[in-house]
Amino acid sequence: MAKPLGVDEVRLLAIERHNHTLHLTTHVHKLDNIPEYAAVSYVWGTTPASKIASCNGKDLLINQSVFEMLQYLDSDRLFWIDAICINQNDAEEKATQIPLMEQIYAQAAFVAVWIGISTPQTRTFMTELPRVLEIARRWVSNIAKNIDPSTRDDCAMPSRDHPFWVGCYQLLHNQWFKRLWTFQEVVFAKRSIIVSDTAWIYPDDLIEFVLEGRLQGYFHYEQESIGYFCGNYTDADRAILFLRYIPKLRLSLQQNRNQTFPYLLFDLRHRLVKEPVDRIWGVAGLLSGDKRQELASIVDYSATGRKEYWKTYLGAFKILMTEMQTLQLLSIPPVLRSQKDVLPTWCPDISKTFACSLSFCEWWNYPVNHTAQYYRELLIDEPGDVNDSFAKRAAIVEHDKKSISFRDNGTQLCVRGFVVDTIVEVVEDSRLQGAMDYTEEAATSRLLRHPLHPINMDWHLKSLSLARRLAHGTNQDKCDIPEEYLMTLLSDCRIKKDLPKMYNEAVTQLTVGSKMNSLSLELRQMRRFIERLTDLAGHSFFATKSGRFGLAQPGCKPGDKLCVFYGGHPLYVLRCSGGDDLAEFCGSAFVPYLMEPAQSDAARIGPDETFVIR
């Protein structure tokens, strides 16, 4: 490889082929004066570099994936391919190039997503997708016009046993959909194509076909078929989540990308990485330029830096919380901890298994009709909701008493706030913690067969019993569902009046199960409720000294303090350590009628103080 790159330079690759032999040439360019090029997004693979190509007149070792790709890329174009355009043996160069990833992919004329050599089935799918998508669009149009869906052209739609569907399943199982780095690469692209040797499709066409198809009923997503042809359905489920998140993230990046970042760390938990430190660098490009540069200052790709990855987590979270003055990172679910944990309690080790889902991401302070309100069909959209919601958010985020700082070399978090209550009783089952395969299960039929399902339902019944006892002083009325209990389950006080009926039907569905038609509004509402009841597995339901009840991330105990942190949307649970002024962070929480500043201020049981969390 030639001399090291400057901080604003990149290499571009030219490809020549002579008599089945590759001849590669790289040239250095300034990013602000660069010729047209295409960037390639692909999976490195696990095979060692064993193929030899001539690069700048010298032998260059590349792996099988890159070697295959180079056989098909257009030799009339310039390309940026990280394995070749970054010196992989130069840790310093890697550290300067990683912060440029957003700019490299965003400036490219297009991003080529290389998914490897096609199978006969994937080739059929990629060839037929444009035609089938047009049929699907007419199908959706008929529904919108209240035309009988059965009038669609069934003869033109591939049959259920057609290789088209097998190819779709195989494509969704491709490793590209499983990696973390590939995510930001396609999000940044002005235009992108998915390439498999000589076949190609547009990612946006795939997104539309799969997501609309599942919603409207024309996408034949049958777990039995997927399992038969591809080995399992979980990978396909996660690929679909991947596709669903791309348009949402593109939209959020146009609005406030820094606010999106904390939740990305959780939402992208299933994406595979080579090493734990990539959990930060694989999505760091999604931050705005100034924050990305600050994170770049602590990049350490040395052997020690990769081994002590937790130092990167600590440094990154400290920068984000201090510079952005945000407490959103505290809403990330806790992980399954061990005796060997070295990170402070406020800093999750995002390389480990999360103990529960992300439930407290402040949507109770967003308008009901907001595009990201997943449970909006269960909430009341009242007049003035938009203005009221943003006023509440502003009052919290811009509070003049907000103070976020660190001491003791950045290991102790200092926040300003006050105590509002004390936890006295907890309903929790540790067997549900970390059970992400259960909480992410999409099919009710499989939920009913899952060994953790009866345990989760028992947790719900015990939680409801505690809520009834607190609301009425007794648990005798087995039919009553306290309104505040339903607010707690949804983490929102704007619930619809018919929610008790919806809750009972959802519980019945989770007990006996039956096939649901997703096109019915009422049944879609019940499906959302079922998803929520499943999603809460692993959480803690608690009662407080003042007679309230609420929901918290797992790990709280009787005696823990329920606190307000100025600048934070949820409530926070702290455990005081005897003998000093330090506290342990035990997660975030939701309590009905205690989430607005006026409500929590009226409930305070002590003066303002600075909490020091270790």
What was the pLDDT predicted at 463? 97
Compute CA distances 314 → 280, 415, 592, 593, whole Å: 11, 17, 33, 34
- Both tokens of residue 532? 């929520």
- Whether the per-residue pLDDT at 258 is higher than 60: the answer is no
| Torsion angles phi and psi, residue 249, rounded to 5 | -70, -40
Q: Which of 85, 95, 93, 103 is nearest to 32 (CA)?
A: 103
What was the pLDDT predicted at 36? 97
Q: Enumerate long-range contacts of 434-441, CB under 8 Å, 24 or more apart.
A: 434/336, 434/353, 434/354, 434/355, 434/356, 434/538, 435/537, 435/538, 436/269, 436/353, 436/354, 436/357, 437/234, 438/534, 438/537, 439/356, 439/357, 439/534, 439/535, 439/537, 439/538, 440/237, 441/534
Q: What is the pTM of this model?
A: 0.83
- Whether the per-residue pLDDT at 438 is higher than 80: the answer is yes
47 pLDDT band (50/70/90 cuts)?
Answer: confident
- Whether the per-residue pLDDT at 488 is higher than 70: the answer is yes
Domain boundaries, the chain: 9-114, 120-175+203-250, 428-538
Q: How many helices (H) and strands (E) does the chain have?
A: 22, 17
Section 109-136 average pLDDT: 94
- Both tokens of residue 279? 């959990």
Helix axes 181-188, 234-267, angle to 10 degrees: 80
What was the pLDDT predicted at 520? 52
519 pLDDT band (50/70/90 cuts)?
Answer: very low
What was the pLDDT predicted at 188? 85
- Mean pLDDT: which of 92-96, 331-335, 337-341 is highest? 331-335
- Whether the per-residue pLDDT at 375 is higher than 60: the answer is yes
What was the pLDDT predicted at 298? 75
557-569: burial string, b at 16+ Cβ within 10 Å, e else? eeebbbbbbbbbb
362 pLDDT band (50/70/90 cuts)?
Answer: confident
What was the pLDDT predicted at 490? 96
Percent of the chain with pLDDT over 90: 47
- Whether the per-residue pLDDT at 551 is higher than 70: the answer is yes
Pairwise pLDDT comparison (404 vs 143), residue with the higher score: 404
For 180-199, the pLDDT digits (tens) are: 888 888 888 889 999 999 99
- Whether the per-residue pLDDT at 264 is higher than 80: the answer is no
The residue count of the chain comes to: 614
476 pLDDT band (50/70/90 cuts)?
Answer: low
For 142-170, the pLDDT digits (tens) are: 765 666 555 545 557 788 788 998 899 88
Cα Dmax for the chain: 86
- Mean pLDDT: which of 26-40, 225-239, 284-298, 465-479 is highest? 26-40
Section 373-390 average pLDDT: 88
What was the pLDDT predicted at 411? 93
- Both tokens of residue 151? 């009038």
Q: Which of 303, 276, 573, 323 is nearest to 423 (CA)?
A: 573
Contact 343, 313 (CB under 8 A): yes
What was the pLDDT predicted at 518? 47
Pairwise pLDDT comparison (220 vs 48), residue with the higher score: 48
Rounded Cα gap, residues 40 and 186, in angstroms: 10
Tokens 């890329």 found at = 73
- CB neighbours of residue 500 within 10 Å: 17
Give the DSSP H or E segment for 192.
strand 192-196
Pairwise pLDDT comparison (381 vs 240), residue with the higher score: 381
- Whether the per-residue pLDDT at 173 is higher than 60: the answer is yes
What was the pLDDT predicted at 148? 59
138 pLDDT band (50/70/90 cuts)?
Answer: confident
Pairwise pLDDT comparison (270 vs 369), residue with the higher score: 369
Residue 265 neighbours by CB under 8 Å, 6+ apart: 279, 283, 329, 332, 350
Q: What is the mean pLDDT of the chain?
A: 86
- Whether the per-residue pLDDT at 592 is higher than 50: the answer is yes
Tokens 């190039």 found at = 97
For 419-430, the pLDDT digits (tens) are: 999 999 999 999
